[in-house]
Amino acid sequence: MDLPVDEWKSYLLQKWSLLPKSIQITISTAETLSDIFLHSSSLLQPEDEMFLKRLSRGYLVEKDPNAPIFYREEGNKKFQEKNYMEAAVLYSKGAAHSRPNSEDLSLCYANRSAALFHLGQYETCLEDIIRAQMHGYPERLQPKVLLRKAECLVALGRLQEASQTISDLESDFTAKPTLEASPFQILQRNLHHLKMKVKEKENCLETSPQTLYKAFEDLDLREENELISRASSSISLCTDPLKGRYLVATKDILPGELLVKEDAFVSVLNPGEMPPLHHSLKNKWDARVSNGDLYCHRCLKHTLATVPCHGCSYAKYCSQECKQQAWELYHSTECSLGGLLLTLGVFCHVALRLTLLARFEDVGEVIRKLHDEICNKDICLPESKNLVKILSYDQEETEEHGKIMETHVPGCDIKGKYENNYNAVFNLLPHTENHSPEHKFLCALSVSALCRHLETTTSQALATGPQSSEPRAAVTPELCADLNIWGVAMLRHILQLQCNAQAITVMQHTVSKESVIADSRQVRLATGIFPVVSLLNHSCSPNTSVSFSRTVATVRAARRIEKGQEILHCYGPHESRMGVAERQWKLGSQYFFHCSCPACHAEELGTVAGPRWQAFCCCRCRALMQGGDMLSCGSRSCAEPVRRDHLVSRLRDLQQQVEMSRRLLRNGKLERAIQLLLGCQQDAESFLWAEHAVLGEIEDDLAQAYAALGDWQTSATHLRKSLQAVEARHGPSSVEMGRELFKLAQVLFNGFAIAEARDTIQRAEEVLLVHCGPCSDEIQELQKMRSYLLDLPPLPVGPSE
């Protein structure tokens, strides 16, 4: 996904292996990125470009005139099944393949408005009705959408507008007496009911639980740092010749305090599963739902009502505004490149978008540096150790005060301010010397192919002149004035991304309506660059938590941080997720360093035993098994020592069973899933330590299954056990704990276990506020549950329906 598709990768790796040794050596030993780029790109042959073009054609990214009707019919099927969510997405897919101002487009919008109506999304439904009418909704069908419009307005309590719409309809009915009058009467009855309801509502004053959140709302970066944009004044930026840049606390910081709140400089939505077509006509149109259908391609807002690009079928937005902005900023160039960008991978896409965004900033300095590098071999791009030296040399020249021995921090402007801008992005380290020659060759040729493709499309566009009705922005970025400069910049970005790309994640809740809770997992939604967040170094036991809301990343203190301590976050390999060997391997291969955080240090010295959440227990006495290749519980009355291999393979078998039951669960085969899971649980308890992660996961799956059956009590019992496992592994104030508490709160809430629900809601809030802040979806949801419970009469008799 990050890197090019396998076919292109292996094609280039083969090309590399066939190169004469001398050329391989030239590229391997090249010191600067421009040398690597120039040498590699001179090797790109027309047949290579043809091969790449063939691969790109495998993706359906253009509008297919036959697709709208297919998707509309599929959507109608889902609509009949009352699966309005999927129906809406299918209508969106249909819309994405329709031309502007076509009946196809208007029908897709109109049908989608019906699905949204059933989902209770009245505002969005109204927007879709307007969209349908804008794109030529047929006159004969008008009353249908007007009825829906009136119903929406009624539901929203906008009674005056509703009455207006109804009287419009009435005159329509009198003009065309053939129309059915009964739905219209029903509507009038609804209107009457709702009028009564609104009156009731107006009479009782609403109590808001907002006051509870005052304390946390104040934390919204009340004092912005003067030298680091989007950061709190409680931290400052330092440099060190060995460590590079890092952040420290300038005062004592409390858990939950907001330290950084930064919008991505660039972000690219991960397309999700988008398999190439492979010539099978049957699967030509994909009816599955992917992230590309559910999130705005610009701002990452979740929506069921996307607005498609007018030119392609893959770019979709939450609104006309986002569509317009994306077009002006980058999509006018990217629109026709969909297949190519999917073939070349997300990193290549991010690199291109970065250079397109650079057009809107003053990048003269960057271009000068790149230009110098290409023309004059003596100057090399500032990087790692050279960096401080070169930039302080730069400054000596420019400052009038003569010698300035203070180190100028890379990425900062002349006044020492570090901002979320292209200059900062450009100065993130590409670690050129650490990547393998093959990898650099692969990246350089991919970039080169992209450059050449854009060069040809640009000259074609200039030759034919503007033909489309939409305004076409200049295709070439400013950096592209010199193709080599542009190529080197993009190559630099691709190499930077391996260490600096930030996965923007969301908690995704399953689309199916069967699993009310629990099947929510963290998924990677997009890849972004956050120059300020990138200043944080890694620890396997970090003192901060990073969370995302659309394209904004927030970093909060996860625990108390004392003045002078470094601010650290985890790049992925967290001590509660993997053992030290695996962590070091991951950090070494992806980020090129050996971690020496306290957790790694302790584990490597062997002062702590292996993690308990991976431990086995004795099948007889249930005591913890210890040892290396041979494990034993230490008790003499128990059996012989057991080989670790044996237990590991037993665990693998168990995990396969668990996986099988999850498939059953997903397919709604609840009874069978529960049976299988209970068997797994029994098996697991016989050889896994009580705090083992897999035992916790089984409990969590069981909880999910019982919740789907509506057996809230049993579900809660299993969740409490799962909670213990999560607490043992991740700690009582971890974000994982918060999420598990959140699930338990939902189950207790649904089961009307009021006292415990209130308690659990509060615990979940306390933990999640620290990690995610008051605006997160989870906190909002908890708040809703809490206020609902507060509104309940003192002695509730049970759910009303």
Residue closer to Zn ion, measured from CB, 238 or 623? 623
Residue closer to Zn ion, measured from CB, 570 or 772? 570
With contacts defined by CB under 5 A, name the span among 171-179, 436-444, 600-608, 732-740 that binds Zn ion: 600-608
Residue closer to Zn ion, measured from CB, 326 or 744? 326
Residue closer to Zn ion, measured from CB, 157 or 641? 641
Bridge-based pairing state of the strands 552-557 and 568-569: unpaired
Residue closer to Zn ion, measured from CB, 301 or 669? 301
Beta bridge partners of 657: none
Helices (H), 6-158: 6-17, 21-29, 33-41, 46-56, 67-80, 84-96, 103-118, 122-134, 142-156
Smallest distance, Zn ion to C-beta of residue 338, A: 7
With contacts defined by CB under 5 A, name the span among 127-135, 334-342, 464-472, 772-780 that binds Zn ion: 334-342
For residue 635, state whether it binds Zn ion (rule: CB under 5 A): yes
DSSP string for 393-441 = HHHHHH-TTS---SPPPTTB-TTS-B-SSHHHHHTS---GGGS-HHHHH
Smallest distance, Zn ion to C-beta of residue 433, A: 23
Out of 638, 660, 709, 775, point to the residue binding Zn ion (CB under 5 A). Answer: 638
Residue closer to Zn ion, measured from CB, 27 or 88? 88
For residue 647, state whether it binds Zn ion (rule: CB under 5 A): no
Distance from C-alpha of 251 to C-alpha of 381, rounded to nearest angstrom: 36
For residue 67, state whether it binds Zn ion (rule: CB under 5 A): no
Residue environment code for 265-280, b if the CB has 16+ CB neighbours within 10 A, otherwise e: bbbbbbbbebebeeee
For residue 768, state whether it binds Zn ion (rule: CB under 5 A): no
Residue closer to Zn ion, measured from CB, 635 or 667? 635
Smallest distance, Zn ion to C-beta of residue 311, A: 4
Give the Å distances, CA to CA, from 469 to 258, 302, 311, 322, 749: 47, 30, 11, 19, 54
- Contact indicator for 211, 205 with CB cutoff of 8 Å: no
Contacts of 414 (CB under 8 A, 6+ apart): 395, 398
With contacts defined by CB under 5 A, name the span among 346-354, 442-450, 636-644, 674-682 that binds Zn ion: 636-644
Helix/strand/coil (H/E/C) assignment for every residue in 359-374: HHCCCHHHHHHHHHHH
With contacts defined by CB under 5 A, name the span among 100-108, 170-178, 396-404, 599-607 that binds Zn ion: 599-607
Smallest distance, Zn ion to C-beta of residue 551, A: 9
Query: In what helix (H) or strand (E) does residue 162 lie, and over which residues does it extend?
Result: helix 159-175
For residue 618, state whether it binds Zn ion (rule: CB under 5 A): yes
Question: With CB under 5 A, what is the number of residues at the site for Zn ion?
Answer: 22
Out of 621, 648, 790, 792, point to the residue binding Zn ion (CB under 5 A). Answer: 621
User: Helix, strand or coil for residue 767?
Assistant: helix
Residues 531-570 that bind Zn ion (CB under 5 A): 540
- Contact indicator for 235, 535 with CB cutoff of 8 Å: no
For residue 304, state whether it binds Zn ion (rule: CB under 5 A): no
Rounded to 5 degrees, what are φ and ψ at 786?
-60, -45
Distance from C-alpha of 139 to C-alpha of 131, rounded to nearest angstrom: 14
Out of 311, 339, 410, 542, point to the residue binding Zn ion (CB under 5 A). Answer: 311
Residue 31, number of CB atoms within 10 A of its CB: 13
With contacts defined by CB under 5 A, name the span among 16-24, 33-41, 507-515, 629-637 that binds Zn ion: 629-637
Residue closer to Zn ion, measured from CB, 368 or 601? 601
Residues 450-489 that bind Zn ion (CB under 5 A): none
Separation of CA 265 from chain center: 15
Residue closer to Zn ion, measured from CB, 250 or 541? 541
Distance from C-alpha of 630 to C-alpha of 645, rounded to nearest angstrom: 9
Smallest distance, Zn ion to C-beta of residue 568, A: 10
Query: In what helix (H) or strand (E) does residue 613 lie, and over which residues does it extend?
Result: none
Residue closer to Zn ion, measured from CB, 154 or 504? 504
CA-based max dimension of the chain: 96
With contacts defined by CB under 5 A, name the span among 422-430, 444-452, 498-506, 616-624 that binds Zn ion: 616-624
Distance from C-alpha of 564 to C-alpha of 134, rounded to nearest angstrom: 59
For residue 663, state whether it binds Zn ion (rule: CB under 5 A): no
Residue closer to Zn ion, measured from CB, 305 or 557? 305
Interior angle at CA 799, CA 796 and CA 801, nearest 5? 140
For residue 312, state whether it binds Zn ion (rule: CB under 5 A): yes
Smallest distance, Zn ion to C-beta of residue 309, A: 3
Residue closer to Zn ion, measured from CB, 78 or 538? 538
With contacts defined by CB under 5 A, name the span among 43-51, 484-492, 634-642, 752-760 that binds Zn ion: 634-642
Residue closer to Zn ion, measured from CB, 498 or 537? 537
> Which value, to the nearest 10 degrees, does the dihedral of the CA atoms of residues 168, 173, 176, 179 take?
130
For residue 329, state whether it binds Zn ion (rule: CB under 5 A): no
For residue 315, state whether it binds Zn ion (rule: CB under 5 A): yes
Residues 270-299 that bind Zn ion (CB under 5 A): 296, 298-299
For residue 322, state whether it binds Zn ion (rule: CB under 5 A): yes
Out of 351, 633, 647, 785, point to the residue binding Zn ion (CB under 5 A). Answer: 633
> Which value, to the nearest 10 degrees, does the dihedral of the CA atoms of residues 597, 600, 601, 606 take?
170
The single-letter code of the amino acid at 430 is P
Smallest distance, Zn ion to C-beta of residue 530, A: 18
Query: In what helix (H) or strand (E) does residue 617 lie, and over which residues does it extend?
Result: none
For residue 105, state whether it binds Zn ion (rule: CB under 5 A): no
Out of 595, 693, 757, 769, point to the residue binding Zn ion (CB under 5 A). Answer: 595
The single-letter code of the amino acid at 751 is G
Backbone CA torsion sign across 356, 357, 359, 362: negative
With contacts defined by CB under 5 A, name the span among 179-187, 564-572, 630-638, 728-736 that binds Zn ion: 630-638
Helix/strand/coil (H/E/C) assignment for every residue in 704-761: HHHHHHCCHHHHHHHHHHHHHHHHHHHCCCCHHHHHHHHHHHHHHHHCCCHHHHHHHH
Distance from C-alpha of 170 to C-alpha of 185, rounded to nearest angstrom: 10
User: Helix, strand or coil for residue 497?
Assistant: helix
Question: Structure tokens of 552?
Answer: 């904004």
For residue 600, state whether it binds Zn ion (rule: CB under 5 A): yes
Out of 368, 620, 643, 663, point to the residue binding Zn ion (CB under 5 A). Answer: 620
With contacts defined by CB under 5 A, name the span among 6-14, 234-242, 455-463, 610-618 that binds Zn ion: 610-618
Tell me which residue has tokens 């190169």. Answer: 19
Smallest distance, Zn ion to C-beta of residue 595, A: 3
Smallest distance, Zn ion to C-beta of residue 166, A: 33
Smallest distance, Zn ion to C-beta of residue 618, A: 3
Helices (H), 574-692: 580-586, 598-605, 644-666, 670-687
Distance from C-alpha of 778 to C-alpha of 765, rounded to nearest angstrom: 9
Smallest distance, Zn ion to C-beta of residue 282, A: 26
Residues 24-43 that bind Zn ion (CB under 5 A): none
Out of 85, 105, 304, 309, point to the residue binding Zn ion (CB under 5 A). Answer: 309
Out of 125, 335, 366, 552, point to the residue binding Zn ion (CB under 5 A). Answer: 335
Chain residues binding Zn ion by CB under 5 A are 296, 298-299, 301, 309, 311-312, 315, 318, 322, 335, 540, 595, 597, 600, 618, 620-621, 623, 633, 635, 638
